[in-house]
Amino acid sequence: MTGIVRIGALVLLIMAALAIPALLVGHRYDALLDGAKALEVLRAQGVWAWAMAVGLICADLVIPIPSPAIMAALGLIYGALGGGLIAAAASFLAALIGYGVCRLIGPGAAKWIAGDQEIGRLTGFFERYGFWAIALSRWLPAVPEVLACLAGMTKMTVSKFLASNLIGSLGVGFAYAWFGSRSESNPAAALAAAVILPYLALPLFLLIFARRKSSRPKA
C-alpha cells in the first residue's frame, strides 16, 4: 500500500504541476476555443493558421485546450490530408516536449518522491505496456500528458516512445482532420462532437489495457 501511495503522490505532483498554468489562464483559452470558435480563431490567422494550431495543441500540455476541436478545424481548413499531417505533427510534438523535459529533469525528483523500488515498477510497466499505452492515450483527455511525463521520468527508451507516439499521433491527427473535413455543412456540430469524443474513448482505452494485462502470461 505504501508503494501505491508513493506512486499516487508522484502522479498527483505531475498533475498539479500541469494544472498551475491551467488555473491561471486556462479559462480564457477554454472560452476562446469552445466549439466552432476554434475554427474562427484559426481562420483569422490567415496563412499562419497551421502555426497557431501547432502552438495551441502543444500548449495543451499545460493548458486545457480542446485539441480535438483544433484538429477538426485543421481538417476544415486544409482538408483531410493536409490537416491530418499538421494535426499529427502537433500531437507528436506536444508529447515529445513532455517526455523530453521530464527525461531531462524528472528522474531524480521521481526517485525522491516514489523511491527506487517504485520507479523500478513503473519502469517495468512502461517496458511491458508503454508502447500501446502511449499510442492509445493520444485519443484521451488529460491522460496523454501524464503518461508522456511518466515515460520520461522512468526513461522509457527513446526509440519505443517515438514509435508509439508516432502511431498514436498519426491515428488521432488524421481521424479528427478527416472528421472535420467531412463536416463543412455543419462545422459547429462537428467541432462540438470532436470535443466530446475523447471522453467516450476512455472506457475503450481501459478495456484494451485490462485485456492486455489479463492476457499476459503469469510467471
Q: How many CB atoms lie within 10 A of CB 22?
A: 17
Residues 6+ apart with CB under 8 A from 69: 33, 34, 35, 38, 191, 192, 194, 195
Model confidence at 173: pLDDT above 80: yes
**How many residues are given for the chain?**
219
Say what the pLDDT of residue 219 is: 46
| Lowest mean pLDDT across 32-36, 78-82, 115-119 | 32-36
For residue range 35-60, what is the model confidence (pLDDT) as tens digits?
Answer: 567 788 888 899 999 999 999 898 88
Higher pLDDT, 127 or 162: 162
Residues 6+ apart with CB under 8 A from 54: 86, 89, 90, 93
pTM recorded for the entire structure: 0.74
| Whole-number Å distance between alpha carbons of 188 and 198 | 17
pLDDT band for 114, please (50, 70, 90 cuts).
Answer: low
Say what the pLDDT of residue 98 is: 87
Higher pLDDT, 107 or 50: 50
| Whole-number Å distance between alpha carbons of 198 and 195 | 7
For residue range 129-147, what is the model confidence (pLDDT) as tens digits?
Answer: 788 888 888 887 777 887 8
Residues 6+ apart with CB under 8 A from 75: 83, 84, 87, 176, 177, 178, 179, 180, 181, 182
For residue range 88-101, what is the model confidence (pLDDT) as tens digits?
Answer: 999 999 999 989 98
The mean pLDDT of 170-176, rounded to a whole number, is 91
Supply 157's cell numbers: 527508451
